[in-house]
Structure formats: C-alpha cells, structure tokens
Structure 1
C-alpha cells in the first residue's frame, strides 16, 4: 500500500482555452499533486491510499468519490471544518502560456493542526509514503505535518518519495523558510523527484541543467548532502509553444545515471499533472523491480500520454503504456 498525503483540490478550467471569466463557464476536475500520483499508481495496478481532509459538503464528497472510482482507498480522508481548496486554470494556446490562480486559503486541509494526523494509524499497513513540496508550502501547520509524516514513515521502515513541486506563490503567501523545510523532507526521502533547480534551492548554490555533466554535478551534490537518497528522477522539458513540447527523462543514482531520448509531444490536450504522471510511472517501475533505465522510460511514457488526457491525473493502464513504448500509434481494434 502506497500512502499519498496531500490536499484534494477541485480544478476549474475555462473551457476551450478561454481566459478565466471570458464566458463565466468552467470544466471541473478533481486534482492535487499527491492525489494524482495515487490515481496514476492505482490504474497501474498498485494498492494506493490517500490521507487528506475535505469538508463534509457536496464538493468534498464529490472529490472523494472521484478518487474511489479510480480504486484509491479513501478511508484515511477525514472530514473537517473549512472549505474545499480550489484552483482555476486558463489553458495556454499558441504562444500564450497557461495560467493558474489558487483559491485554497482556509481549506479544511490547510487549517488542520499538526496534531490532527495520527501517523501510527494512517501509516498502518503501508510500505511507502509519497509527499510533495506543495503540502509544506501551504503553511506552518502543513509543513510540520509533512515532516512528522516523513519522520514517522522512516521510523517504521517505510520508503519515502518526495516530489519537489516548488510553488513560489504558495511559499510567498506566508512567513516561510522553504529551504529549511524542504531540506528536512528531502533528508528523509529515498527518492527525489526534482531537477537542478530544486538542488540549487536546497543547497543554496547555482547548478545548470545545460548538458550531461552539469546535470550530473547537481545530482552528485544532492547525493553528498542527503546520504539517504537512492534515486533522483527528473524530466527536461523544452516548450516550442503551448501545443508542442519536447520531453526527456532521467534517473540519477549515486553510481551513475540513465537518460531517455527526447520525445516530441504535439497536439497537447492538457499538460497539468504531467509531472505527477511521470512520478507514478517511475514509482511503478521501481516498485516492480525494474532497473533505472526501464523506470525512466516508463515515467516518460506515462507523462507523455497524460498530455493527451483532460484533467489532472493519468488514467492509463499497463497495456496503454506498453503499447506506447512499442510505438503503437494506430487504432487498437
């Protein structure tokens, strides 16, 4: 059982690539970085559970129902006072970038006190804890809760994966010290989803992502600073325009690195959640006993396919990924 701890959100997207409030209509999807990973892994055949908090309202119940429909165990999702966290998306088009507006202050998850989470109970029966940098960015209480979760998981002998997911707008909204918080969390992780920019933030030193040697320099520095780390998984994205990106994947270990070829993704439907899809593909392969090269390929495949699907999470199954890796682009009959 993989436990994902984070906030469940509703995403309201302006339809047809409109600007927000252009016509005052929205498409609604359930999201949240950790929930996306839980859904992605569930669809790849893993037992997953979500630890979160939602209001006892149609919005909260609807979000939980959406996760349950994808096979995620939601028995650890509590109902609490507060509101449902929202975010609004205006999807990019051509040379106009996508834009996100958060509306999650005062949510039931964000205002829950640190001691609201009973980690002995929540982690019972689990083998891995997955966290992201979004949860500690919400405020002091959630930052302390994320650290307590990671510490409890390590004390129980669980493995911990952490996705940097740095969100400057969230950290800037309160008197935060992101480097101090994220350093503690990465120090407890065996797998980090992050790139040279994340390492630069953690270590207070600039690293470049230009070229194999420079990317390896950042990885070496991270492994030296965080001896518990076994893997660092990352992607490199080149944006030609909103409809065409080029994506490659990489996994570093203390002993070396593997990197995929770049894949061109055109006709993009929805890029939100691509990083979470990558995380679910990498986790699936590593937890299935595959080597790092296979894990990088699977992560890239799930991420690439996610760009074809509206919504936050990957809903693709094992056969879909295998067909993609085999180059099966024709109609399957």
Structure 2
C-alpha cells in the first residue's frame, strides 16, 4: 500500500552511553524525526512508504536522504534546496535523571519550504494513507500551511489521514498550538495522542497527571469520547506510559472507535535502551494494523508490541520486521537467541 508521511528529518547528535552533554567530547550520529520514523516502520512492514520533506543539496542533506533509502523508504517526493538540516542534541538519562533534548532546527529547509516545492495532488494520487504530526506545523507558519495543503489534497484523493498530536513545548505555546491544530482536525480520520497532547493541542481538560505517569485507562474514556464527538474522528488512540524511571517504563495502549474501548496487554520495559521514537513506532504499527488486521484489537496489539520493541533499539528508527512484532504479540518475551 502507498503511504505518505510528511515532516522534518533531523541530524541527531547523541551523547555516548549515558554521558552528559557537558562532559562529552564526541557525539553519535543518526538521523530521525517524527514522520520519518513512521515511514521507516511502515517500510519495514512491506508498505510503499514515501517521506515528504525538503533538504539541502549539500552532503548533510544527502546523508539524511541516504539514511531513509537504506531502510526502504521512498524519497521521490523529497525536494532539494534550502540552507540547513535541523539538528537535535540528545542526552540519554538514567534512573531518576531524565533524558534531555536540545533543538537547533530554526530556519531548516522544510521550515522555510513553500507550497511551490510540492505537488500534493501528484503525491496523494493512488495513496492509501497520509500521516503527519503536530511537530510539523509547530516548526514554522509556512510548514503549518504545507500541512493544510497536504491534508486538502489527501481528502480530495480519498486518502485516510492520521495525526499524532505530539505537542512539543519547546516549539510553541498551547495557545498557538490550538489556533493551528484545531482547524486541521477537520481533515483527520485517526487521532493519536495522550491526555497531555489532547489538552495542549486541542483544549481538552485532562483527568490524569501524565507527567507523573498517572495513566490509568479510565482517565481517557471521557476525553476520547469528547474528542471523537467534537472532531468526528473515526478512531482515537493513545499509548499509556507508566514512568518509573528513565530506564523502566510500563507500556500499553487504548483505542476508541465510537462504539467500544479496546485496551492492549501491558509490557514491562526494563532496561530501556532508547525511548526516542517510541510514539512514532506506535503510529507506524497502528497504521499497519488498521490497514491489514481483521480487528481493531489486533491492530492495537500490533502497534503497542511494535512500540515496546522500539525501546530496545538505539536511534530514532524502529528497525523491526512484521514477523518480530507478531512474535511478541504471541507472547514471545524470552529474548532467547534466535539460531
């Protein structure tokens, strides 16, 4: 199936191991970013996954393109131009010390891209799904306009649209987020986002403290119902993270389709190798599950298993196969060597 994602792919500079930025003399280099990570997951599951962005012509831009090509993502719709690739620095936490992200992404190529850089009708032709996240409209006003144009083209071509709300307080305020995100919800069929995202992006009052890891499924029921009724979503879904420490999380998910609430099995993840991209891997697994599984419960189980596995893999990309996810869904959590 042809699946489109659009956003920013960045150069990630992470400290080796659990060292702090202030003590590091070198950084590990990988590439990643919300919608790019989703495209990688979908390519791993056998879909024709296309990533839409703008990258400079120089070697760093080419390295980002190559990173996607190496894992099977189609780069046909990547426009070349602009001055820079966005950067983010990652300091991986441990125990009670949280991980930290520092952005250096202002004036990146995609943040300054224009509508003339993309032919969205051609991009959406024969597509089955279009996915974006709240990070993309947050990076610039012009990027927000690109999201709107892409959504319009998707609906014109009868393409299912999903969003991961993904509020980033380092990129915009809740007031700015709501002014942009609420109108864009008119194009969305599948909404992904926890209670914090729902409050900050869409204005729904939370009943649980997400920051403290108070994520009982019951706290989501009323908000999911309100979200669906307000924006006419077909599906609302979210991961539920229980944060015991930087290295130890509980992990499950919830889905609501207007008739029934579905709750996944819970995974105890310890030690966490890299939690960056965990939500993106859930989105990728959910899209695959909704497109290929017979029931919403199966789709949910696939998505949460895929995202649990991502926590064991360094880097932004979830480099797992469909077969590996299915094995975890079936209860294979032993970690035994495969011979």
Verify the 8 A CA contact 1:87 1:102 in the aligned structure 2: yes
Matches within 5 A, 1:1-333: 1-172=2-173, 177-209=176-208, 211-227=216-232, 229-328=233-332, 329=334, 330-333=336-339
8 Å CA contact retained: 1:197, 1:207: yes
CA shift for structure 1 position 192: 0.7
CA contact under 8 A between 1:92 and 1:242: conserved in structure 2? Answer: yes
Task: Give the CA deviation at 1:214.
Answer: 3.2
| CA–CA separation in structure 1 for the residues paired with 2:181 and 2:240 | 22
Distance in 1 of aligned mates of 2:105 and 2:69: 22
Distance between the aligned counterparts of 1:203 and 1:273, measured in 2?
Answer: 22
Worse-matched range after superposition: 139-148 or 195-204: 195-204
In the other structure, the counterpart of 2:211 is none
User: 1:25-63 CA deviation, whole Å, 9 max, x = no partner?
Assistant: 000111010000000011011110011011111111111
Deviation at 1:106, TM superposition (A): 1.1
Q: Is the 8 A contact 1:147 1:184 kept in 2?
A: no
TM-score normalised to the size of structure 2? 0.94
SS of residue in 2 equivalent to 1:52: strand
Compute the RMSD of aligned alpha carbons.
1.5
What's the CA shift for 1:261?
2.8
Q: Is the contact made by 2:265 and 2:301 (CA closer than 8 Å) also made in structure 1?
A: no
Listed as ranges, the gaps of 5+ residues in structure 2 are: 209-214
Cα separation, 1, equivalents of 2:200 and 2:98: 24
Residues 274/211 of structure 1: CA separation in 2 closer, same or farther (3 Å cut):
closer
Can you give the 5+ residue segments of structure 1 that lack an aligned partner in the other structure?
Answer: none
Give yes or no for contact 2:161–2:190 (8 Å, CA) kept in 1: yes
Q: How many residues align?
A: 330
Give, in angstroms, the shift of residue 8 of structure 1. 1.2
| Alpha-carbon distance change, 273 to 285 in structure 1, aligned in 2, over 3 angstroms | same
How far did residue 176 of structure 1 move? 7.0
Q: How far apart, CA to CA, are the structure 2 residues paired with 1:145 and 1:127?
A: 19
Is this contact kept in 1: 2:167–2:200, CA < 8 A?
no
Moved over 6 A (4+): none
Once the two structures are TM-superposed, the CA of residue 323 in structure 1 deviates from its matched residue by 1.8
Give the Cα separation in 1 of the matches to 2:56 and 2:217: 47
